[in-house]
């Protein structure tokens, strides 16, 4: 007897090579026009699925999961962050949740380092001046920024990406400091020449640049609150390539506008794709459209990771990238 292929619902357009392989292995329902599902469409799509492959643009809450039939056994998230999935509701329904860690670490760290360089050196400001025909010619006192060499970098969240950023920053002769839920192994500290701060408040008050790399959870919502942002020195910069909700964006915007901090580099936003219009008016912030892992290699790697997770569960094995609610503390 030929075993029936599982029905896999994919919510967004994935790289062609991944979709082709999925069609070979599974009964797949693809999203060819790449338009995000509405909540109603998502509930309808999941009702007959064995596997759901969502992305960060999908809100997989208890209501959506309640619409799923008994067949749904796996949510194989296409991405590392799972803050858009109600993990506890999934576990109560016996649904396994997986993600795609590791494959986007280096690309996100590259983008973070690019922002660490771009904001203090005012690169996007200079690029706009050229394009708008406003460059008056070289001057010894015009468009002055700040060097990053020798500066103190505070890393909020010293996981895979935080450590990858630290390695890059060391190459630029930066001093590495970090705050994490748990202190990392002493061998990692020694390799990165990193100083651990048990108190996030104390670290923030001493840093030249702060970069965010923790997951978004209820515990980390507005972790960088208005109060904590006020601890930053006026010459400090804030970088965020993690999740917009970790920073109080309204408070950050006010401080940037009032020049209470020097600048920011943001690849993620609290209500994306909506952007606070006040941010768009500022010249001391670099804004990017959530493209930290946007490389061909990362997107294909994420898809391959999804394939492995799906096949593992369908074959009756534990998937390599299972996510549990208790794993996401900071």
Q: pLDDT tens for residues 117-170?
A: 999 999 999 999 999 999 999 999 999 999 999 999 999 999 999 999 999 999
Tell me: pLDDT of 2 over 60: no
Active site residue 243: yes
- Candidate list 21, 152, 206, 290, residue with the active-site label: 290
The answer to whether residue 37 scores a pLDDT higher than 50 is: yes
The domains found in the chain, sorted by start residue, are: 7-101+295-328 (3.40.50.720), 105-287 (3.40.50.720)
Q: Is 290 a catalytic residue?
A: yes
Chain segment 210-230, per-residue pLDDT in tens: 999 999 999 999 999 999 999
Is-catalytic flag, 213?
A: no
Catalytic one among 125, 191, 272, 304?
272
pLDDT of amino acid 329: 56
Catalytically annotated residue among 243, 245, 270, 299 = 243
pLDDT range class, residue 4, cuts 50, 70, 90:
confident
CA-based nearest residue to 72, from 7, 28, 4: 7
């Amino acid at each position: 007897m030929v075993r029936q292929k599982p029905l896999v619902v994919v919510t967004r357009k994935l790289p062609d090579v991944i979709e082709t392989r999925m069609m070979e292995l599974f009964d797949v329902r693809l999203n060819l026009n790449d338009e995000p599902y509405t909540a109603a469409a998502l509930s309808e799509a999941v009702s007959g699925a064995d596997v759901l492959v969502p992305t960060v643009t999908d809100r997989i809450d208890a209501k959506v999961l309640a619409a799923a039939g008994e067949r749904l056994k796996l949510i194989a998230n296409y991405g590392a962050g799972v803050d858009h999935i109600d993990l506890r509701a999934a576990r109560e329904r016996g649904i396994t949740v997986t993600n795609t860690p590791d494959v986007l670490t280096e690309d996100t760290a590259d983008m973070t380092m690019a922002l660490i360089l771009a904001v203090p050196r005012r690169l996007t400001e200079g690029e706009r001046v050229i394009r708008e025909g406003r460059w008056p010619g070289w001057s010894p006192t015009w468009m002055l920024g700040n060097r990053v060499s020798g500066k103190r970098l505070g890393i909020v969240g010293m996981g895979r990406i935080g450590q990858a950023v630290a390695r890059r920053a060391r190459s630029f002769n930066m001093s590495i400091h970090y705050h994490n839920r748990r202190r990392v192994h002493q061998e990692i500290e020694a390799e990165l020449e990193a100083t651990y701060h048990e108190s996030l408040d104390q670290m923030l008050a001493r840093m030249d640049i702060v970069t965010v790399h923790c997951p978004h959870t209820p515990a980390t919502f507005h972790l960088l609150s208005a109060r904590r942002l006020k601890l930053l020195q006026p010459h400090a910069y804030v970088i965020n390539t993690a999740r917009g909700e970790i920073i109080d964006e309204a408070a950050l915007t006010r401080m940037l506008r009032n020049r209470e901090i020097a600048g920011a580099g943001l690849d993620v936003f609290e209500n994306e794709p909506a952007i606070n219009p006040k941010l768009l008016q500022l010249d001391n912030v670099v804004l990017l459209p959530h493209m930290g892992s946007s490389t061909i290699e990362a997107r294909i790697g994420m898809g391959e990771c999804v394939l492995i997770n799906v096949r593992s569960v369908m074959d009756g094995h534990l998937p390599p990238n299972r996510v549990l609610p208790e794993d996401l503390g900071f």
